[in-house]
Chain A
Amino acid sequence: EPEVTQTPSHQVTQMGQEVILRCVPISNHLYFYWYRQILGQKVEFLVSFYNNEISEKSEIFDDQFSVERPDGSNFTLKIRSTKLEDSAMYFCASSALAGGYEQYFGPGTRLTVT
């Protein structure tokens, strides 16, 4: 069964460093998303991406964040200058269509900023 994959599973970085989190969505999906969960809190929406551009972003997704689909398979989230409060589990998801369709999640990347 096709699945969303994410690498790395765990990333430790120092405050101020740039990180890139990678995702390979399900191959025939068109909509891509990033979510995050800070420990003990709810999973929060960050950004959605369609047709090579951001379709929606939350207030969390400020100028420090960017997303890219550099080739036909990868979908990346970059954090330019990490802060301690960026420590979280970051989930990538994809869906075939928008609206009331299933979003399939990857296993997440645990980002620890020290």
Chain B
Amino acid sequence: ILNVEQSPQSLHVQEGDSTNFTCSFPSSNFYALHWYRWETAKSPEALFVMTLNGDEKKKGRISATLNTKEGYSYLYIKGSQPEDSATYLCAFNGNNRLAFGKGNQVVVIP
């Protein structure tokens, strides 16, 4: 069983503040680490696929880093906006099957 953990499970952020959360995953048999943004009743939206140790990716105000040696990834949201409210899922790709964490539920308070 692949153990993928995300913390904190939920967080409330004031509009305009920046925030970050963590995904930890097994450091062996690593193919890729995926981040998804998931709003209720919608498809999980692919944010990033990260494959190399030290990778940093950015999409607008959202960015992510990857450390495959110690088995963690950080997701950052800069200047949070109400539309950033969602659950952010990370998934470890060990062999084309994704093992998900429980998600980081973010609520941005206007």
Binding stretch for chain A, among B56-64, B74-82, B95-103: B95-103
Contact with A along B32-43 (1 / 0, CB 8 A): 101010000111
Binding stretch for chain B, among A11-19, A39-47, A66-74, A77-85: A39-47
A25 in contact (CB, < 8 A): no
B34 touches A99 (CB 8 A): no
Which residues of the partner chain A approach B98 to less than 8 Å between Cβ atoms?
33, 35, 43, 45, 103
Q: How far is the CB of A22 from chain B (nearest CB, A)?
A: 15
Interface size on A, residues (CB 8 A): 26
Instruction: Report, as a range, how many residues of chain B touch the other chain.
Output: 20 to 34
Partner of A105, one of B43, B49, B96: B43
Query: Once bound together, how far apart are the Cα atoms of A99 and B98, in whole Å?
Result: 10
Which residues of the partner chain B approach A44 to less than 8 Å between Cβ atoms?
100
Which residues of the partner chain B approach A99 to less than 8 Å between Cβ atoms?
31-32, 93, 96
Q: How far is the CB of A47 from chain B (nearest CB, A)?
A: 9
Which residues of the partner chain B approach A56 to less than 8 Å between Cβ atoms?
95-97
B44 in contact (CB, < 8 A): yes
- For B95, the closest partner residue in chain A by CB is A56
- For B32, the closest partner residue in chain A by CB is A100
B43 touches A102 (CB 8 A): no
Which residues of the partner chain A approach B44 to less than 8 Å between Cβ atoms?
91, 105
A100 touches B49 (CB 8 A): yes
Partner of B43, one of A4, A33, A42: A4
- 22 A-B contact pairs sorted by A residue (CB < 8 Å): A33-B97, A41-B102, A42-B4, A42-B100, A42-B102, A43-B91, A43-B98, A45-B97, A45-B98, A48-B96, A48-B97, A99-B96, A100-B31, A100-B51, A102-B34, A102-B46, A102-B49, A103-B98, A104-B46, A105-B43, A105-B46, A107-B43
